[in-house]
Amino acid sequence: MESAEIARRFLRFFEERGHKIVPSASLIAEDPTLLLVNAGMVPFKPYFLGQRRPPGSRLATAQKCVRTPDIEEVGKTTRHATFFQMLGNFSFGDYFKAEVIPFAWELLTRSESDGGFGFPEDRLWATVYLEDDEGYDIWRNKVGLPAERIQRRGLEDNYWHMGVPGPGGPCSEIYYDRGPEYGREGGPIADEDRYLEVWNLVFMQYQLSQVRSKVDFDIAGDLPSKNIDTGMGLERMAAILQGVDNIYEIDTTYKILDKAAELTGTRYGHDPRTDVNLRVIADHVRTGTMLVADGVMPGNEGRGYVLRRILRRSVRNLRLLGSGDERHMHTLTDVAIGVMAEQYPELKADAPQIHGVIDAEEASFLGTLRTGTAIFDVAVEETKRSSHHAISGAQAFQLHDTYGFPIDLTLEMASEQGLKVDEEGFRRLMKEQRERAKADSAAKKTGNADISVFGELLEKAGKVEFLGYDEIESDTSVIGVLVDGVPVPAAGAGSTVEVVLGRTPFYAEGGGQLADQGVIRTAGAEVEIVDVQTPLAGLVVHRGKVRSGEIKVGDEARAEIDLERRRAISRSHSATHLVHRGFKNALGESAAQAGSENSPGRFRFDFTAAGAVPPSVLRDVEDEVNAVLINDLKVNAFYTSQAEARAMGALAMFGEKYGDEVRVVEIGDYSRELCGGTHVHSSGQLGLVKVLGEQSVGAGVRRVEALVGIDAFRFLARESLLVAQLTEQLKVRREELPERIEGIVTRLRAAEKDLDKIRSAQVLQVAGELAAQARDLAGVSAVTHRAPDGTTADDLRKLALDVRGRFPADRPAVIVIAGVPSDRPVVVAAVNEAGRERGLKAGRLVGVAAKALGGGGGGKDDVAQGGGTRPDAIDDALRQVEQAVTEQLG
Ligand code: SER
């Protein structure tokens, strides 16, 4: 049975039993305590806690999940995956144990032809929590499971919570006996490889306050109602129903694995090490694809780092299979999209963007590997030279930090060289860095506040309503005031504060749009607001300074934004949408937005593109966008469903496309995008858009910067003035300028060349004289000479060689010429063959001179060059060289 069919059956079964089917939420968890959704119930946490009303008392989902704590186990065991799907049915105060257990039994054992999964009854086992007599009784008497196939287990196995404060409760798990060839008799308590857990039924009824470990937590009390949360691993079910040994061989993963084997010319099932590599690739490519599709971008922190690690591990495993610098991620991602699209059709539409992100990360990592490997080799050499057995923690850290080398890569490459790595030192440095970064970002985003403070405020304030689409001034109230991240009842004039309002017209920085600024006034105080952030989804924090009076929690307040700034930012934001559409029109759908920043009068737009964008394309895009301005298209924002927005072809910056309702901003018929930002009313309000140019910001990502409105006009006015000045100076008409300037430049170059020739000739003129004046040092002709300042390094070298060539072959000769081409001294030494036979080495002589000049250098025995920092030491350096010659001649 195919994976997609397993999901369909599960959902249909529960739909027939009164459940509302809810589509999978994004992998990006809304929950501030989690980076990624790691269980089916995560999106429903507020329903369990009674904070929000569920859309029905019975729900069922197939939820995408990512878990990475066991990433090292992937491929080595039969059942560890970083991406998996959890099928679940949920009851919020509706049915409980007595219904959910029989539901599960029925679905598992009902025949396939009858819509079930057709498990033989005698292969199923159940576990219940030690004290759960009720659960035991239902299994034993209501379902009729023999007593010997019901096992009682402790907290470790049969109690479920999120690992953080939240809902929890005892659970009952269902296991499938794969048969004696897979392990020992004796049920799940004896062997969890033979008895595979397929379904976990959680009786969610308590609220946990402190969670110290899986088995050590405090129960704060009962949840508002008794609930059910179940989780069935789709991939494990698929392994059983498809009769394969492990989850990497099921339909959705095997195709990727197979393609990876084909691309790398390896075979699955022949060599255990190759098999692990292939399984890792199959698992990780799928996970990476799903994460990117949900809007995660590779980065160095949080989810971005999870994704980067997964993609880089894929690339590295491909290299371990011998793919070298060949790029296979595109093809593999294609397969992943193909296999997952039956369940997630949006993957097909998003394919160009997904490829854009993954291809760019692959390219950048391959580049990293190339430079990093060179650095790694140096580290190995140093380690061996100093007779150490381990690469230092600092070196491993540098490889990681500067060259993006994952530690496991360093470990592996070191072991190939017979070396170890000081992992402890590495981890210490990593920890220090993380702490620094944490402190930095906390300071930037939240003014040092401990994030839990915001959690409490959010609970108190509820989701803060944003009024700023329609209002620039709003009546509101002060819900919280923080000073140095600590809640205070009031703050007086001069204090730097963070203010939480019940509702606000202030736009918090997000979606590339900079924050509003403005003023919050209460009866007694005025606070100037300079920054607005959302430390937690739904909570808006205004940062600023109390100008006068005292702001108090509970005050009525009036919040007013700086309208000019807002308007200028809105113009930039609308312009960004136009430019986004413009690039897609010009370059194709793979030009996907990878970031943006909308500031007053100026914006920056990053997008995926294979290489530099030619100036002609930039001009076309600019032209098209300005035509849209002139047509003065109406800007319209509305809310609609996810599916509807997609059907309309709305562009999405990944990650903003989930939730039941999405906001679409359309500019006439030209552009349509999911967006939470603020915009102008019609495109004509932008006035003018001027694209300044484009550049690379990392592999596969380009950035354009542009000006909007009066800033664009002023820029063009300045350029125009500049042109006027040039025409005036050069006395030509505007259109003749390029030709005239080209003419001037060509003549200048020719003149410079002539000058160079003359100078060289002059330098060389002295060659004969120098040779004639050579001194005899123990039978060797020695010339030391300081050339006039300004002689180029090239000419110094030519001169040395010219002089050397003037001595007969059997006459040993050494020539040392020094000079100051610009501000630093350079020295060149040349020794002819007869001189070398006498033991003279140019490299050594240059070394002596360069040292005297305060620098370094060296080279071959026949010619060498070096330099230093002290022009005043040239005479001394030449003297030392002569001395060295005498010494070398012994
Ligand atoms: N929350 C439980 C789990 O993750 C059941 O869905 O296993």
pLDDT at 881: 92
pLDDT at 698: 66
DSSP bridge partners of 150: 126
Cα of 116 vs centre of ligand 1, distance in Å, is 21
Cα of 233 vs centre of ligand 1, distance in Å, is 9
Across 683-702, average pLDDT: 86
pLDDT at 603: 95
Residue ranges in 218-270 assigned as alpha helix (H): 234-241, 251-264
* Residue 481: Cβ within 10 Å count: 24
Across 55-66, average pLDDT: 96
- Which amino acid residue places its CA nearest to atom 5 of ligand 1? 231
Whether residue 657 is predicted with pLDDT greater than 60 in this model: the reply is no
> Does the residue 375 lie in any domain?
yes
Note whether 242 and 302 are same-domain residues.
Answer: no
Cα of 456 vs centre of ligand 1, distance in Å, is 26
Work out how many domains the chain is built from and give that number.
Answer: 5
Residue ranges in 345-385 assigned as alpha helix (H): 346-385
Residue with tokens 């150490």, as numbered in its chain: 388
Last residue of a domain, one of 356, 387, 418: 387
| CB-based contacts of 56, cutoff 8 Å, min separation 6 | 19, 20
Across 570-580, average pLDDT: 96
Across 498-507, average pLDDT: 95
Ligand 1 pocket mutation pick from 24, 36, 86, 198 by most atoms within 8 angstroms of CB: 86
pLDDT at 451: 56
What would the pLDDT profile of 840-866 be if each residue is shown by its tens digit? 999 999 999 999 999 887 788 999 999
Q: Which domain holds residue 508?
A: 451-561
- pLDDT-derived band at 638 (thresholds 50, 70, 90) equals very high
Give the Cα separation of 438 and 318 in Å (integer).
Answer: 33
Note whether 260 and 369 are same-domain residues.
Answer: yes
Whether residue 445 is predicted with pLDDT greater than 70 in this model: the reply is no
Q: Is 39 close to ligand 1, i.e. is its CB under 6 Å away?
A: yes
Q: Residue 186 maps to which CATH number?
A: 3.30.930.10
Note whether 816 and 880 are same-domain residues.
Answer: yes
Q: Is 709 close to ligand 1, i.e. is its CB under 6 Å away?
A: no
pLDDT at 652: 67
Phi, psi of 533, rounded to the nearest 5 degrees: -130, 160
Note whether 834 and 775 are same-domain residues.
Answer: yes
- Which amino acid residue places its CA nearest to atom 2 of ligand 1? 231
Last residue of a domain, one of 333, 367, 387: 387
Whether residue 448 is predicted with pLDDT greater than 60 in this model: the reply is no
Q: Is 41 close to ligand 1, i.e. is its CB under 6 Å away?
A: yes
Note whether 774 and 817 are same-domain residues.
Answer: yes
Cα of 703 vs centre of ligand 1, distance in Å, is 43
Q: Is 200 close to ligand 1, i.e. is its CB under 6 Å away?
A: yes
Last residue of a domain, one of 248, 267, 282: 248
Note whether 259 and 129 are same-domain residues.
Answer: no
pLDDT at 538: 83
Q: What is the per-residue DSSP string for 52-108?
A: S--SSSEEEEEEEEE--TTGGGTTTSSS--SEEEEEEEEEESS--HHHHHHHHHHHH
pLDDT at 664: 92
Whether residue 449 is predicted with pLDDT greater than 80 in this model: the reply is no
pLDDT at 660: 66
DSSP bridge partners of 595: 606
pLDDT at 62: 96
Note whether 176 and 127 are same-domain residues.
Answer: yes
- pLDDT-derived band at 506 (thresholds 50, 70, 90) equals very high
Note whether 243 and 257 are same-domain residues.
Answer: no
Which secondary-structure segment (H or E) carries 231? strand 217-233
Give the rounded percent of residues in the chain with a pLDDT score beyond 90: 67
Nearest atom in ligand 1 to the alpha carbon of residue 162 is 1
> Does the residue 442 lie in any domain?
no
Q: Strands 465-466 and 503-504: what pairing?
A: parallel
Note whether 220 and 241 are same-domain residues.
Answer: yes
> Does the residue 36 lie in any domain?
yes
> Does the residue 215 lie in any domain?
yes
State whether residue 616 is helix, strand or coil.
helix
Whether residue 339 is predicted with pLDDT greater than 80 in this model: the reply is yes
Across 691-718, average pLDDT: 88
Cα of 39 vs centre of ligand 1, distance in Å, is 6
Average pLDDT, the chain: 90
pLDDT at 436: 73
Q: Residue 529 maps to which CATH number?
A: 2.40.30.130
Cα of 229 vs centre of ligand 1, distance in Å, is 7
Q: Is 88 close to ligand 1, i.e. is its CB under 6 Å away?
A: yes
Whether residue 277 is predicted with pLDDT greater than 70 in this model: the reply is yes
Across 799-815, average pLDDT: 94
pLDDT at 443: 45
Note whether 109 and 81 are same-domain residues.
Answer: yes
DSSP state of 634: B
Across 768-791, average pLDDT: 91
Whether residue 529 is predicted with pLDDT greater than 90 in this model: the reply is yes
- pLDDT-derived band at 659 (thresholds 50, 70, 90) equals low
pLDDT at 593: 83
Across 653-660, average pLDDT: 51
Give the rounded percent of residues in the chain with a pLDDT score beyond 70: 97
> Does the residue 365 lie in any domain?
yes
Across 35-61, average pLDDT: 91
Q: Residue 610 maps to which CATH number?
A: 3.30.980.10
| CB-based contacts of 619, cutoff 8 Å, min separation 6 | none
Exposed/middle/buried for residue 394 (C-beta within 10 Å: 0-12, 13-18, 19+): middle
Note whether 56 and 120 are same-domain residues.
Answer: yes
- pLDDT-derived band at 100 (thresholds 50, 70, 90) equals very high
pLDDT at 281: 97
pLDDT at 539: 87
Q: Residue 853 maps to which CATH number?
A: 3.10.310.40
Chain centroid, CA 82 distance in Å: 17
Note whether 536 and 573 are same-domain residues.
Answer: no
